[in-house]
Chain A
Amino acid sequence: MKRRVAITGIGAVTPLGVGARPLHEEWARGVVGIEDGAGWCRSFEPSEHLSVKEIRRLDRFAQMAVVASDEALAQAGWGSGEDAPYDSLRVGCIVATGIGGISTVELNHDAMRQRGAGRVSPLGIPMYMPNAGAAAVSMRHGLRGQMYGVVSACAAGAHALGSAMRMIQYGDADAVVAGGAEATLTEFGFACFNALQALSESGVSRPFDLRRDGFVMGEGAGLLVLEEMEAARARGATILGELAGYGSTADAYHLTAPEPTGTAAARAVSMALEDAGVDPEGVSYINAHGTSTPLNDAAETAAIKRALGEERAHQIPISSTKSTIGHLLGAAGAVEAVATVQVLSTGLIPPTLGLEVPDPELDLDYVPGETRRLVPANGGPPAALSNSFAFGGHNVSLVLKGAE
């Protein structure tokens, strides 16, 4: 029998504030964290959380990862050093990013152009490497098991959680601190995504709405503490939920566009459900990838119908966290998993904000308007899907369950 994976801590830095709590609370109140066309983490002040040395040596994305990990581990009631509940060599760490330390790249590239190759900082590479978030979290908390970064664009945060889940199930680790972080709101970041015509011209994130015109970029981090279920129970940890299923496929179709029939994406959803032992009737909520791009929201709708069946697909409430914070790229899957844990634990499904004009082609229940109470589809703890899709053709679906 597979080892089960408990979620015992969640942490987040998002445009709705520093901390996991504001993510769900503010979203449920209908607050949109997007200003001036992007989801900025304006309340994130590194010096409130990190030493001078840490701030200088970490790109913004890694700073946010560390702060989210502090919160998640504190919630798990996890001491450090000898007070840690596990042998540090049995605790893994996986932190995803889509892009890495792009502001560090920009600063150093400017320095090189203006002052010569000899004026590039020795901290350049260790700050911008995409595994810097994982390295920083590992060092901060003394996590000495398997540790690496995951890179799969906007699916990376979900891949990190899936990989962490497998690490525990396989027995390579007893606990893993996992998630994703992204800080791409730079001149170059905007320029590149604008060149792709991926960003919303209106600056409004309104997934599944007829007027949707692209995604709104956001920054932030989401980190979760995952533990082998029996070990977590034995130490008396508060179990927030369970990471129960993981499925992942690729479109092999186009560099940026999703395959429109959603065939491979649907397969990822089905694999995650099979992995969790949950059938479509047992799904109470779907946290959509829901980017607010014309193509994603249509392909995702097709994938959900294909995986769950047309009839069942119409019955499940679906909402997009990107409607409140924008698209956090490599952090999105992890932050949205945090939000899904909160939906399951509070029983409150925040709406897809900004969805006012339905697209006749998209006919599922995307929870427009108000926060809604979650109705468990079956007797036991409710189960939810969290989808992540990405440039490159990555598809990931996770199944999360509420605490027993």
Chain B
Amino acid sequence: MATVTKDQVQERVVEALASFGPDVSQITPDATFEELDIDSLDLVELAQIVEDEYGVVLKGEDMKELKTVGDAVDLISARAA
């Protein structure tokens, strides 16, 4: 499998989160899920997308630690590498 860059992951995560409701301009690496009104149900959907896209399985305990968009991108990039 081709290497996935962090930028690619970032782009895909932003796209997914934007489809859940928040405006794309708000979805910065520092933005917290709380600020974006992204809840646990959205994160389960994000995990499904990430698994389809990169084969990375994110479990409930992984997701619980995530506070910001950047946290999620870091975790997914690290696991996908």
List A residues at the B interface (Cβ < 8 Å): 51-53, 56-57, 118-119, 121-123, 126
Contact = CB atoms under 8 A, between A and B. Distances in A.
Contact of A121 (B21, B45, B51, B52): B45
A51 B44 CA distance: 20
Contact of A122 (B37, B44, B52): B44
A25 B10 CA distance: 53
Contacts of A121: 45, 48
Nearest to B51: A118
A69 to B, nearest CB: 20
Contacts of B52: 119
B45 A52 contact: no
B30 to A, nearest CB: 21
Given A122-B41, A123-B41, A51 B21 contact: yes
Given A118-B51, A123-B41, 16 more contacts: A52-B19, A52-B20, A52-B21, A53-B20, A53-B21, A53-B37, A56-B19, A56-B20, A118-B48, A119-B48, A119-B52, A121-B45, A121-B48, A122-B44, A122-B45, A123-B45
A52 B26 CA distance: 15
A53 B37 CA distance: 9
A123 B46 CA distance: 12
Interface of B: 19-21, 37, 41, 44-45, 48, 51-52
The 4 closest A-B pairs by CB, nearest first: A53-B21, A122-B44, A52-B21, A122-B41
B21 A56 contact: yes
A56 B20 CA distance: 7
A53 B22 CA distance: 8
Contacts of B37: 53
Nearest to B37: A53
7 contacts: A51-B21, A56-B21, A57-B41, A118-B51, A119-B48, A122-B44, A122-B45
A115 to B, nearest CB: 8
Q: Which of B19, B21, B45, B51 has the most CB of A within 10 A?
A: B21
Contacts of B20: 52-53, 56
A51 B19 CA distance: 11
A76 to B, nearest CB: 28
Nearest to A111: B48
